[in-house]
Amino acid sequence: MLKKLTETIKRKPMIGWGIFAVVMAGVFLLGLLAASITERRAEIATLFNNKKIDISGINPHSEQWGINYPREYNTWKKTQEMDFRSKHLGNAPQDVLESRPQMVVLWAGYAFSQEYTAPRGHMHAIEDMTNTLRTGSPENGEGEMQPGTCWTCKSPDVPRMMHEVGIENFYKAKWSEWGSEIVNPIGCADCHDPVTMNLTITRPALVEAFERQGKDITQASPQEMRALVCAQCHVEYSFQGEGKYLTFPWDGGMTVEAMEEYYDNIGFSDWTHALSKAPMLKAQHPDYELFLLGPHAQRRLSCADCHMPYMAEGGIKYSNHQIMSPLKNIANTCQTCHHDSEDKLRNYVYEYQDKALEIRDRIEQELSKAHIMAKTAWDNGANQKEMDASLKLIRQAQWRWDFAVASHGASFHAPVETQRILAHSLDKSLQAQLELQRVLFAHGIMDVKMPDISSKDKAQQFIGLDMKEKKEKKEKWLKTVAPQWLEKAKKEGRLTANL
């Protein structure tokens, strides 16, 4: 073969020159690649080894981390932006109860019936937590609505306080007790080791949940960690016992049925419904659990692959820390794997969402009717034994509805599973109505007049909320007590940035 090539080159020298040119071009390109790799490694090494300041311990001040890692820090600061709007919600505040007033009835007797707004970016976590009516207006031992546990996912000050006072003491304190301590918004120290910058778990509930399943979270791979740091907070959880100890209900599995069985076995309920008297479960935001049941997790993607796409600057490759909907940046999220146009990819998501929300809206109508029918039955002399079957169905129906709608992006993360859960919720809502009809007929009630709950105000009036008084108290509190928390935090050096 080589002899024939040599003879050919002798006859036609241009072929030899052509081969020479191809080989030299290949060598040149390989040289560029090697130089690029060497340059990138050198830049990364320089960046890591020549840090401007040393960060150690639990440092909640993200602006100090930003001195060493300005690229990541500058993208993290963009979580304060509120300029994105999708077909369904975005990153700006929106009064969800106003657009879906049936939810007021579904949460009667629970703080969510007072206020429920769409979430904003991580930068607003403390502000939104403080401002919401759900935390009340605690002053002089009165107006306390939540335990200290409610702060758990809102700030890197949380692991600092847990270290200082102990995990149990942090949870069982009153929410207001940590008002001047938990002041820095979700940031670097929530997910990173300050010395190595490796991803790390800073919330004990996730570690404890793994341990109860016989798993060692320290053995998680780097790719798994890119989802587990999110799973510290974006999960279903409950406050257990008088100490309000934060617990993930994963002992028997992570499906909606497995978690329901866990709660049933320990006799747990978040609250008793003010109308139906059903022992209720309030789903938080089971994003991680539903994500695991979807196509992206099954292909070993992590949360960060879509919500924190890579960026490049010079020889540095880094993650965009403006954590938000991938639809904001389709070119660097969806299109890294999918080769359809941005419009097609966006419309695929909208199609998933539209179909799920169609069932969701029907559930909210029928489930709110079931609660009102149950109230009517109680008002007309029904007893506990007569009501048990329908109340169990109401609990099951609302748990499934809430599990699907409380999760951020459920209809995209796991569209098939979300549709299944919502379908079961609608089925159980209608079953509850049938059971209640039997009870009502037994007490001579042939028809139930439904109240006008067509607006948030009307629905809140129906369930007995004096919203004028609650809002006035909150507004006064925000002008008097909340500023004192911030002033104390600044005076004692816990809050140093004015972001």
Average pLDDT over residues 400-417: 95
Residue 34 has pLDDT above 90, yes or no: no
The C-alpha atoms of residue 496 and residue 376 are separated, in whole angstroms, by 55
Distance of CA 397 to the CA centre of its chain: 22
Banded pLDDT at 140 (limits 50, 70, 90): confident
Instruction: Determine the pLDDT at residue 75.
Output: 97
Contact at 8 Å (CB) between 191 and 229? yes
Contact at 8 Å (CB) between 155 and 126? yes
Mean pLDDT score across all residues of the chain: 92
Q: Which of 85-89, 321-325, 362-366, 424-428 has the lowest mean pLDDT?
A: 85-89
Per the structure block, which two tokens stand in for 327?
Answer: 């639809």
Question: What does the radius of gyration of the chain's CA atoms come to, in whole angstroms?
Answer: 28
Which residues share a beta bridge with 245?
A: 240
The C-alpha atoms of residue 372 and residue 361 are separated, in whole angstroms, by 17
Q: Under DSSP, is residue 119 helix (H, G, I), strand (E, B) or coil?
A: coil
Instruction: Determine the pLDDT at residue 17.
Output: 62
Instruction: Determine the pLDDT at residue 9.
Output: 60
pLDDT tens for residues 437-493? 999 999 999 999 999 999 999 999 999 999 999 999 999 999 999 999 999 999 999
Per the structure block, which two tokens stand in for 407?
Answer: 């999760």
Instruction: Determine the pLDDT at residue 23.
Output: 61
Q: Which of 232, 223, 188, 185 minimizes the C-alpha distance to 71?
A: 188
140 Rama sector, left if φ>0, alpha if ψ -120 to 50, beta otherwise: left
From the number of C-beta atoms within 10 Å of its C-beta (0-12, 13-18, 19+), residue 123 rates as buried
Average pLDDT over residues 143-166: 96
Average pLDDT over residues 63-86: 95
pLDDT cut 90: percent of the chain above it: 84
Instruction: Determine the pLDDT at residue 371.
Output: 98
C-alpha dihedral over 428, 431, 436, 441, to 10 degrees?
Answer: 170
Banded pLDDT at 22 (limits 50, 70, 90): low
Q: Which of 141, 152, 127, 134 minimizes the C-alpha distance to 176?
A: 141
pLDDT tens for residues 306-354? 999 999 988 788 999 999 999 999 999 999 999 999 999 999 999 999 9
Instruction: Determine the pLDDT at residue 56.
Output: 87
Banded pLDDT at 212 (limits 50, 70, 90): very high
Instruction: Determine the pLDDT at residue 347.
Output: 96
Banded pLDDT at 38 (limits 50, 70, 90): very low
Average pLDDT over residues 193-207: 96
Angle between helices 2-11 and 13-49 (to 10 degrees): 110
Banded pLDDT at 26 (limits 50, 70, 90): low
Q: Phi and psi (nearest 5°) for 280?
A: -100, 155
